[in-house]
């Protein structure tokens, strides 16, 4: 079994993959997933005990974990997390970063600027769906990343995520309340809460559709595949025909793919 860990700004997401070989080649099946809040400082012992307990809760013996891979956009978490893997799993984790084999050519002026989470997403999307493919990750930020037909990561677009926009509304205005992020029944809002919900949700849908159409127009990729992931990705993908596939486990799957490529 492989433990894949995605350290994001909001959550640390963990996935356990059962890897098997068959006549059709290698298959990866997610046996369990977990989430830990990123913003709470933890020691290596806290991370280690927590991860072992979560695995045991799902009936997975921590000794079954044969490899660990981590992608992180939060550097100050890594010392404790890395130490926890070494101490509690007796394994040295593979860290997604410069020098790792991806099978994707990062064709941008400064490849080192590209976040490891984005690299993992495009690796998974290209492997699973082929190119050209546009990967949209609805996370803390909303990112749009393009992989060409021949496997080059050429374009990355970054916008504020829905939660960032929502937080700005209720923190920077005196009279607007904190709200649940859901799509209201109509854009024709008549009260404060539905007014905010309408602006956030329909605004995100409109932004998403416009960026997809503009990428398709400027690249000339009429056969562009659009794959979405991220916590709020389901809400948006259900509301637009521009997104053809929603895969909540895209990042974890990408980590499992990268582990195989670098063993």
The CATH number of the structural domain formed by 105-163+184-249 is 3.30.420.40
Mean pLDDT of 237-249: 94
Q: List, for residues 87-105, the tens digit of each pLDDT value.
A: 999 999 999 988 899 999 9
Percentage of the chain modeled with pLDDT above 70: 98
Model confidence at 228, pLDDT cuts 50, 70, 90, reads very high
User: Catalytic residue among 6, 61, 107, 117, which?
Assistant: 117
Q: Is the pLDDT at 27 greater than 80, yes or no?
A: no
| pLDDT score at 171 | 87
CB of 181 closer than 8 Å to CB of 198: no
> Is 117 designated active site?
yes
Q: List, for residues 154-199, the tens digit of each pLDDT value.
A: 999 999 999 899 999 888 888 888 888 888 989 999 999 999 999 9
Mean pLDDT of the chain: 93
Q: Is the pLDDT at 213 greater than 70, yes or no?
A: yes
| pLDDT score at 1 | 93
pTM confidence score: 0.90
Mean pLDDT of 236-256: 95
| pLDDT score at 24 | 59
Between 46 and 22, the more confident residue is 46
Model confidence at 251, pLDDT cuts 50, 70, 90, reads very high
Residue ranges of the chain assigned to CATH 3.30.420.40: 2-95, 105-163+184-249
> CA-to-CA distance for 138 and 231, rounded, in angstroms?
6
Q: Which two tokens mark 201?
A: 């949700």
Q: List, for residues 120-159, the tens digit of each pLDDT value.
A: 999 999 999 999 999 999 988 999 999 999 999 999 999 9
Grouping H, G, I as helix, E, B as strand and the rest as coil, residue 26 is strand
Percentage of the chain modeled with pLDDT above 90: 78
Grouping H, G, I as helix, E, B as strand and the rest as coil, residue 153 is strand
> CA-to-CA distance for 124 and 80, rounded, in angstroms?
27
CB of 47 closer than 8 Å to CB of 3: no
Q: Tell me the DSSP string of 102-122.
A: -SSEE-SS-GGGS-HHHHHHH
Model confidence at 231, pLDDT cuts 50, 70, 90, reads confident
Q: Which two tokens mark 206?
A: 């409109």
Does the bond joining 132 to the residue before it have cis omega, within 30 degrees of 0?
Answer: yes
The CATH number of the structural domain formed by 2-95 is 3.30.420.40
Q: Is the pLDDT at 25 greater than 70, yes or no?
A: no
CB of 53 closer than 8 Å to CB of 78: no
149 to 57, 136, 239, 255, 258: CA distances (angstroms): 42, 17, 27, 21, 20
Mean pLDDT of 47-53: 97
């Amino acid at each position: 079994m492989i433990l894949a860990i995605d350290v994001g700004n909001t959550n640390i997401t963990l996935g356990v993959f059962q890897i098997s070989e068959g006549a059709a080649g290698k298959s990866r099946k997610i046996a369990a997933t977990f989430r830990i809040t990123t913003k709470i400082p933890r020691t290596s012992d806290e991370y280690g005990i927590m991860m072992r307990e979560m695995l045991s809760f799902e009936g997975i013996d921590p000794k079954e974990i044969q490899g660990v891979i981590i992608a992180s956009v939060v550097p100050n978490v890594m010392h404790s997390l890395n130490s926890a893997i070494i101490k509690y799993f007796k394994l040295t984790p593979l860290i997604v970063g410069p020098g790792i084999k991806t099978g994707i050519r990062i064709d941008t002026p400064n490849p080192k600027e590209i976040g490891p989470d984005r690299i993992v997403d495009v690796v998974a999307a290209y492997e699973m769906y082929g190119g050209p493919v546009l990967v949209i990750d609805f996370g803390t930020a909303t990112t749009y990343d393009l992989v060409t037909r021949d496997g080059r990561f050429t374009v990355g677009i970054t916008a504020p995520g829905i939660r960032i926009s929502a937080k700005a509304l209720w923190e920077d205005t005196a009279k607007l309340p904190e709200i649940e992020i859901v799509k209201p029944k109509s854009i024709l809002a008549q009260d404060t809460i539905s007014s905010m919900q309408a602006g956030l949700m329909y605004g995100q849908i409109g932004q998403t559709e416009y960026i997809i159409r503009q990428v398709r127009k400027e690249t000339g990729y009429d056969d562009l595949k659009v794959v979405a992931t991220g916590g709020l990705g389901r809400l948006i993908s259900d509301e637009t025909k521009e997104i053809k596939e929603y895969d909540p486990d895209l990042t974890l799957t990408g980590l499992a793919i990268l582990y195989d490529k670098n063993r």
